[in-house]
């Protein structure tokens, strides 16, 4: 009997200890302390944020297995400086969507069709007619640069544009695209100060910045954890 009592008393994780720890955690969290946030993440993990597309449309592209077409467009002024930007963004955005289990049409097929049509398309219904897609995501980049103005040795990414999504339906034997989501997109990286080309080459920085843009745009359409860095 004595041995049994001694074993119970020697247990460092008593109910009183657990209750005290939970009370301390609750106090830290309710006080807004960053330590409380960190402790909460350790116990429960990062919460999942529902993407804007699902919030507005009630459609989860990853769960419903809808086929998605992604197209990117930029004005001639940007294409003359960055001729591969449309395709680079298309590839990166497609990769991110697929990584989150969204079915996206082959980028090569999309690029070939765009090349055959002079790299432009008149309206989204034209895309609906020529591709077997349930949804069309259009990323329209109005501004893009990754060099600091008037500073050839400094790098800072800046982009601005619009992200739209359309649902494809067949009406009277014709495929039509109806807009179901639209949001402006803006990006600046890094926010506080530019990066010197002595610490990072323009090629590496541009690739890193395009990855960042693709992830930010992708988060309009797939859920993500709060702790995942953008």
Q: What is the pLDDT of residues 46-80, one digit of tens each?
A: 688 999 999 999 999 999 889 999 999 888 889 88
Q: pTM for the whole thing?
A: 0.78
Token pair belonging to 202: 């323009």
Number of H helices, E strands in the chain: 10, 8
| pLDDT in the model for residue 37 | 46
CA-closest candidate to residue 143, choices 75, 212, 211: 75
| pLDDT in the model for residue 15 | 53
Cis check: omega of the bond before 119, within 30 degrees of 0: no
Phi, psi of 145 (to 5 degrees): -165, 155
pLDDT band at 202 (very low <50, low <70, confident <90, very high): very high
The CA–CA distances, whole Å, from 41 to 38, 44, 46, 224 equal 5, 5, 6, 15
Q: What is the pLDDT of residues 114-150, one digit of tens each?
A: 888 777 777 899 999 999 999 999 999 999 999 999 9
pLDDT band at 193 (very low <50, low <70, confident <90, very high): very high
User: What share of the chain in percent tops pLDDT 70?
Assistant: 78
């Amino acid at each position: 009997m004595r041995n049994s009592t001694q074993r119970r008393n020697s247990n460092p994780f008593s109910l009183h200890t657990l209750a005290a720890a939970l009370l301390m955690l609750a106090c830290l969290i309710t006080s807004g302390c960053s330590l409380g946030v960190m402790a909460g993440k350790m116990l429960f993990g990062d919460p999942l944020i529902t993407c804007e597309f699902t919030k507005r449309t009630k459609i989860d592209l990853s769960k419903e297995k809808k086929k998605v077409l992604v197209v990117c467009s930029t004005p001639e002024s940007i294409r003359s400086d960055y001729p591969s930007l449309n395709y680079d963004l298309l590839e990166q955005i497609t990769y991110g969507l697929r990584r989150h289990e969204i079915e996206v049409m082959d980028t090569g097929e999309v690029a070939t069709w765009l090349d055959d049509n002079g790299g432009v398309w008149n309206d989204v219904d034209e895309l609906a007619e020529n591709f077997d897609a349930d949804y069309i995501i259009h990323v329209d980049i109005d501004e893009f640069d990754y060099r600091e103005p008037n500073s050839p040795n400094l790098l800072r990414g800046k982009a601005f544009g619009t992200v739209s999504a359309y649902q494809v339906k067949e009406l009277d034997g014709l495929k039509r695209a109806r807009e179901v989501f639209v949001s402006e997109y803006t990006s600046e990286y890094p926010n506080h100060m530019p990066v010197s080309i002595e610490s990072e080459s323009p090629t590496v920085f541009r690739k890193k910045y395009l990855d960042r843009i693709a992830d930010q745009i992708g988060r309009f359409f797939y859920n993500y954890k709060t702790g995942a860095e953008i």
